[in-house]
Every structure is written in structure tokens, then in C-alpha cells.
Structure 1
Amino acid sequence: MDIEFAEAEALKEGIMWIRNNNITRAVFETGCASLVNRFKSRKEDLSIFSFRLKEIFKLLESFIDVKIEYVAYSSNRVADSFCKLAINK
């Protein structure tokens, strides 16, 4: 599993957890700049990764206010923990 896919899996798990706890406003942080760029551009292709991003976009529709932000890896221990959780799943 590559890093970008693992970060997307961790993001998806975090979004589902937040949504299941009835939180409607959230800021998700990741150390993966390419993932944030894909979200901001919403560029689509026929890859499995693009399909996974579509699933995440659908989950985000349930939020009133949501952001996905880049945070330098050295400052982002929460996203790192979620990434490790997704890899071990």
C-alpha cells in the first residue's frame, strides 16, 4: 500500500468516526500534500484511488462545514496515528 492510499484510508476512517459521532463541522489535517491537492482540484480519472476519493467526497456531503488541510508531517501526529491504524487494518 502506498503512502497516498494509506493517508486516504486514514482520512476516510477519521471522517466516518466524526460523522458517526454526529459532528457536523470539522477540519481534517494530513501530511500528504498530493492528497490535499487532489481534493482541492477534484480531478477525476479511472483509477482505484480516484474511486476511493469519490467515496470520501460522498462522506463529506453530510457535514455543514468541512475542510481538508495540509499540515507538515512533523506537526501532524494525529494524521500519522490514523494512517498507521489504516495500514494495520
Structure 2
Amino acid sequence: MGRRTARCGSRIIIVFTRRSQSILGFSLSRAITLSKDFCIHNMVNKSMLPLSPSSKKWEKPLRGTVKINFDAAVLNTKTGLGVIACDSEGFFIRGGFGFKNEKMTSDWVELYAFEESLKIIRLFNVTKVTFETYCTTLASRIKKCRDDITLMGYHINDFLQNIDKFNNVVVN
């Protein structure tokens, strides 16, 4: 049996024998073309996915401010969320996590995580709070909640009325 190889740079991508070539049902020339088009380490052609560097680092909150990070995830009918509270020195104060067995969209799960973070912050005697999430749709909805007439906007307005006791609330 003769072996044929298709190479991308110095790495061997596909190794065919005559027997496996007939089983797979496509020719070696097509495999070579595909390997050149979709090779991850192809340094000759410019990458189709642009690299956009972004700095992701933890920023210390202002003095006297409690920073709340919350996030949520959805997988089929299972949802999970996590909340972490840190003081102005960056020390962990309190955290929590939870799971639900309901089918929800990612926006509603993030809103549920925001609600849980509000429950945690009520336990502290602070007036300045910074909420941080990586869900940009929820952050923009919270910032523009006065103009939002949807059901989610109604819930956000309801949550924000409960946190009016704080002097300074920021959502990032």
C-alpha cells in the first residue's frame, strides 16, 4: 500500500492509503485543497478571523465601594450563576452560586444573576456599589432602563427601585 501525505507547513495533516481513500470517497487533491484553505497554521495567507486584542484585568474599586461581579451560563435546560463581592482593597467579602432546572434564555439568566447579586448587597451596610458583568446586552438595558418598555425592562426597573437606598450605583 502506498502512502500519500498532504502537508501544511511542516505538519502532516492527512495521511491516506489507497484503501482508506476509496472508503472515504473523496480524492487526495480535494483533501489537499481543503487543508490549504482551512489550515490553522497557514502563515502565507492572512487570517480570516481578525485578532482584536483587549485587556482583561481586574480593576480595583474606588475606596468605600463594594464591587459585585456576577455571571451566568445556560446549557440546555440547566442554568448556573455565580456572584462575587469584593471590597475596595480587593478582598473577597462574600460570594454565592446557584443552579436552576428551568429553560431560560441567556439574557433572563443574567438578569436572575443580577437579582441574586442585589440580594447579597442588601446584607452589607454600604452606600456605594459597582456591579460588573460581561453580558453587554444586560448592562446596556440596565443603563437605558427608563426607555425600555419590554417585560425585561419592567423587571429591571423593579430591581432598581429596590436599590434606591444606595447613593452611588454603577453598572459596568
* TM-score (norm. length: structure 2): 0.37
> One-letter code of the match for 1:48?
L
The ranges of structure 1 where at least 4 consecutive aligned residues each deviate by more than 4 angstroms after the TM superposition are none
* Deviations, residues 57-85 of structure 1 (Å, cap 9, x unaligned): 1122111111010xxxxxxxxxxxxxxxx
Backbone CA RMSD of aligned residues: 1.4
Which range is displaced more, 47-56 or 4-13? Answer: 47-56
Deviations 1:29-87 (Å, cap 9, x if unpaired)? 11110111112222221x33122111221122111111010xxxxxxxxxxxxxxxxxx
| Selected match of 1:41 from 130, 144, 154 | 144
Distance in 2 (CA, whole Å) between partners of 1:17 and 1:56 is 13
Counterpart in the other structure of 2:117: 14
TM-score, structure 1 length as denominator? 0.67
Work out the CA distance in 1 between the residues paired with 2:116 and 2:161.
13
Q: Distance in 1 between matches of 2:162 and 2:112?
A: 13
Q: Following TM superposition, by how much is the alpha carbon of 1:19 offset from its aligned partner in structure 2, in angstroms?
A: 1.7
Q: Which runs of 5+ in 1 are unaligned?
A: 70-89
Identity over aligned pairs, percent? 25
Say yes or no: does 1:67 pair with 2:67: no
Deviation, structure 1 residue 23 = 2.2
Q: Distance in 2 between matches of 1:36 and 1:29?
A: 8
**1:55 lines up with 2:158 in the alignment:** yes
Are the counterparts in 1 of residues 127 and 166 from structure 2 also a CA contact under 8 Å?
yes
Q: Which amino acid aligns with 2:164?
A: E
- Contact conserved, 1:19 with 1:62, CA < 8 A, in 2? no
CA distance in 2, matches of 1:3, 1:25: 28
Higher strand share: 2
More helix by share: 1
Question: Which segments of 5 or more consecutive residues in structure 2 lack a partner in the other structure?
Answer: 1-103
- By how many angstroms is 1:9 displaced? 1.1
